[in-house]
Structure 1
Amino acid sequence: MAAVTLKDVAERAGVSIKTVSNVVRNAPRVSDATRTRVLAAVGELGYRPNPSARRLRTGRSGLIALAVPDLGTPYFAELAHHVGREASSRGFTVLIEETRGDAREELRLATGVGASLLDGVILSPLRVSSADLAPVADEFPLVLLGERDYGSGQVVADHVLIDNVAAAREVTAHLAALGHTRIGAIGVDEQRSATSRQRLEGFQQALHEAGLTYDPRLAARVGEFDRPNGLAAMRTLLELPTAARPDAVFCFSDLLAVGARRALYEAGLDVPGDVALAGVDGSGEALYATPSLTSVVPDKAVISALAVDCLAARIGAEGPLPYEVRIAPHRLEVRESTDGVRRPLPG
């Protein structure tokens, strides 16, 4: 049985082949009525796009990948949702890859090795460094997400991120403004990731600006930014002598804060009455926690739009383009875990 073609679909729907192509790629500027008619013809005929054939015709497959460390983390799951919507509006299909923070897997995806049908990759690296990427930076369309590690000053790829130093400084300053004097931090990364370093830097800056002394005993180390590590780290902080314990804690992720909250509950301590708590990521889990968690909220929709725009420009470029570093906005959402003011959830 011969494969169904774009021409077959166009004839069934009574439109041009170009219109069918636009609908299949989910391109904009197609009326709802036309889109509905074309999709009905696609379903009736059983048409399936052939990425290999498309690549032969155009040199592109229309496939891109989003590679993140852990899809079980709410932040990355929400980010994948936004990237998928942005990519679809530009005619791309997104494949999701989970790297588990393995440097070899991150480097493989960043260079397009083993991904012959991919036009480009949006990568949120956890372990691979700019030094690792520098030798292969021009070989494959790539956009990096998250914190950058440019100790040498060399920008090796397009990069979309929030200002993590500023974000950490803002949330720590908020805790200090509430009158807390022994502010702890959970998230000093044993692997010394750029995320951890930058958030620790902002934390220390805010303490200095508030006239407070940085106490290394209150900076708890973690292996991962997850709930179990938050639980263990807070338990460690609570083992300090009573006078040395923190009266507020800034966690470097919402998941760490959720784990820390459990440790405080086990110890019979009130949040924020005994210990105020704040995080980073703006996840739905933070909003629905009890009490709701004060959090730095990166604008994930803007991050995704900037990343897809950068990748699309690089895929479509006929020559080399200068690398761009794009800063996405963030905001501090003050909730019950720091100011104690009860708020009804939206909706």
Structure 2
Amino acid sequence: MTAVTLKDVAERAGVSIKTVSNVVRNAPRVSEATRQRVMQAVHELGYRPNPSARRLRTGHSGLIALAVPELTMPYFAELAHHVRAEAAALGLTVLIEETLGDAREELRLATGIGASLLDGVILSPLHVAPDELAAVANEFPLVLLGERSYRREQVVADHVLIDNVAAARDATAHLVGLGRTRIAAIGVDHKASETSRQRLQGFQLALHGAGLTYDPRLAPRVREFDRHNGLLAMRALTSLPAGVRPDAVFCFSDMLALGAQRALYEAGLKIPEDVAVAGVDGSQEALYSTPSLTSVVPDKAAIASLAVKCLATRIRAKEPLPFEVHLAPYWLDVRESTDGVRRQLSP
């Protein structure tokens, strides 16, 4: 049985082959009426794109991968949404992979192993060693997301991130500015991840700048940045003696903060009157929680745009390019969990 081609679809839809290609790649600047006509022809003829043929024709398959630690985390789900949209605008298709923070899986995906048609990978690593990624990035298009554990002059691959130290410092300084003096940190993890280290650093800088002392008793360790660990950590904090118990808490993720808020509710403590709570990620859940959660909001659309465009540039480059670090913006969205001002969500 002869395979259906772009030409067959173009003839059935009454458009050019280029138009069919644009529709199949979800490229912009195609009218909705034309898109529907082409897609009708695609379904009628049973056309299926052939990445191998595209690679033979152009040298590229048009396939890239986004590899993140956990798809169940709202931050990564929202980020994946933005990456897919940015990639589609460039005619690229995105495969989503989950590493679960396993260093071997992170390295495997960084090399494109297991998906030989991939043109490149956007990876949010947790535990793979920088020197291993350096060896990969010189041979295969790779863009890293999240925190880095090396100095700027030792960049091992293109990297897109926010200034996590500054973001944590800003959130903690906000709590200090409310007059809180016993501020806890939830997010110091057993795995000593770079995310945890940098957010703790920013937290401590803010305390030091305000003349407050860091108390390890107010920084219970967690295993994951999820709701359950936030719940357990906050329960431990509320069980401390009255003179030590925190009057504010900075959580290293929104999910930790939501778990902490549940523990405060169980303990009969009011937010923010008894304990003010702030998080990081700017997730939709933080906006709809009760009370709404004050959160550091990374510009996920900007992160996705920088990462996809950076990867596309490296894929199409004819010669090696120097690696670059790109800082994306963030802001602190002050909500009910710290300022106590009741808000009505916009319709």
The residue type paired with residue 143 of structure 2 is V
2:131 corresponds to 1:131: yes
Any residues of structure 2 matched to 1:135-174 within 5 Å, and which?
A: 135-151=135-151, 153-174=153-174
Counterpart of 2:112? 112
Q: Is 250-259 or 202-211 further displaced after alignment? A: 202-211
Q: What CA distance in whole angstroms lies between the structure 1 residues aligned with 2:95 and 2:276?
A: 40
Q: Is 8-17 or 336-345 further displaced after alignment? A: 8-17
Counterpart of 2:210? 210
Q: What CA distance in whole angstroms lies between the structure 2 residues aligned with 1:162 and 1:70?
A: 19
Paired residue secondary structure (1:217)? helix
2:98 corresponds to 1:103: no
Counterpart of 2:56? 56
Paired residue secondary structure (1:233)? helix
Counterpart of 2:245? 245
Gaps of 5+ in 1: none
Q: Is 22-31 or 134-143 further displaced after alignment? A: 22-31
- Residue 119 of structure 1: how far off its partner (Å): 0.7
Q: What CA distance in whole angstroms lies between the structure 1 residues aligned with 2:88 and 2:207?
A: 44
Contact 1:272 1:339 in 2 (8 A): yes
Paired residue secondary structure (2:262)? helix
Q: What CA distance in whole angstroms lies between the structure 2 residues aligned with 1:31 and 1:231?
A: 50
Q: What CA distance in whole angstroms lies between the structure 2 residues aligned with 1:33 and 1:241?
A: 68
Contact 1:169 1:205 in 2 (8 A): yes
The residue type paired with residue 169 of structure 2 is R
Contact 1:187 1:253 in 2 (8 A): yes
Counterpart of 2:319? 319
TM (norm. structure 2) is 0.97
Counterpart of 1:288? 288
- Residue 131 of structure 1: how far off its partner (Å): 2.1
Any residues of structure 2 matched to 1:1-347 within 5 Å, and which?
A: 1-151=1-151, 153-347=153-347
Q: Spell out structure 1 runs of 4+ moving beyond 3 A.
A: none
Paired residue secondary structure (1:268)? coil
Identity, % of aligned pairs?
A: 78
- Residue 250 of structure 1: how far off its partner (Å): 0.1
Q: Is 50-59 or 73-82 further displaced after alignment? A: 50-59
The residue type paired with residue 205 of structure 1 is L
Q: What CA distance in whole angstroms lies between the structure 2 residues aligned with 1:20 and 1:67?
A: 30
Q: What is the CA RMSD across the aligned residues, in angstroms? A: 1.3
- Residue 72 of structure 1: how far off its partner (Å): 0.5
Contact 1:67 1:97 in 2 (8 A): yes
Q: What CA distance in whole angstroms lies between the structure 1 residues aligned with 2:191 and 2:240?
A: 24
Paired residue secondary structure (1:176)? helix
Paired residue secondary structure (1:72)? coil
Gaps of 5+ in 2: none
Paired residue secondary structure (1:71)? coil
- Residue 259 of structure 1: how far off its partner (Å): 0.9
Q: What CA distance in whole angstroms lies between the structure 1 residues aligned with 2:314 and 2:50?
A: 23
Say how many residue pairs are matched.
347
- Residue 153 of structure 1: how far off its partner (Å): 4.1
Is the alpha carbon distance of 1:6 and 1:329 closer, same or farther for their aligned partners in structure 2, counting shifts above 3 Å?
same
TM (norm. structure 1) is 0.97
Q: What CA distance in whole angstroms lies between the structure 1 residues aligned with 2:321 and 2:127?
A: 26
Q: Is 265-274 or 22-31 further displaced after alignment? A: 22-31
Q: Show CA shifts across 1:256-279 (max 9, x none).
A: 011111111111111111111010
The residue type paired with residue 254 of structure 1 is D
- Residue 37 of structure 1: how far off its partner (Å): 2.5
Q: What CA distance in whole angstroms lies between the structure 1 residues aligned with 2:34 and 2:343?
A: 45
Q: What CA distance in whole angstroms lies between the structure 2 residues aligned with 1:285 and 1:216?
A: 29
Q: Is 236-245 or 174-183 further displaced after alignment? A: 236-245
Q: Show CA shifts across 1:28-56 (max 9, x none).
A: 23333333332222222221111121112
Q: Show CA shifts across 1:272-304 (max 9, x none).
A: 111110100011111111111000011111111
Q: What CA distance in whole angstroms lies between the structure 2 residues aligned with 1:66 and 1:135?
A: 19
Q: Is 109-118 or 305-314 further displaced after alignment? A: 109-118
- Residue 134 of structure 1: how far off its partner (Å): 1.9
Is the alpha carbon distance of 1:153 and 1:191 closer, same or farther for their aligned partners in structure 2, counting shifts above 3 Å?
farther
Paired residue secondary structure (1:242)? coil
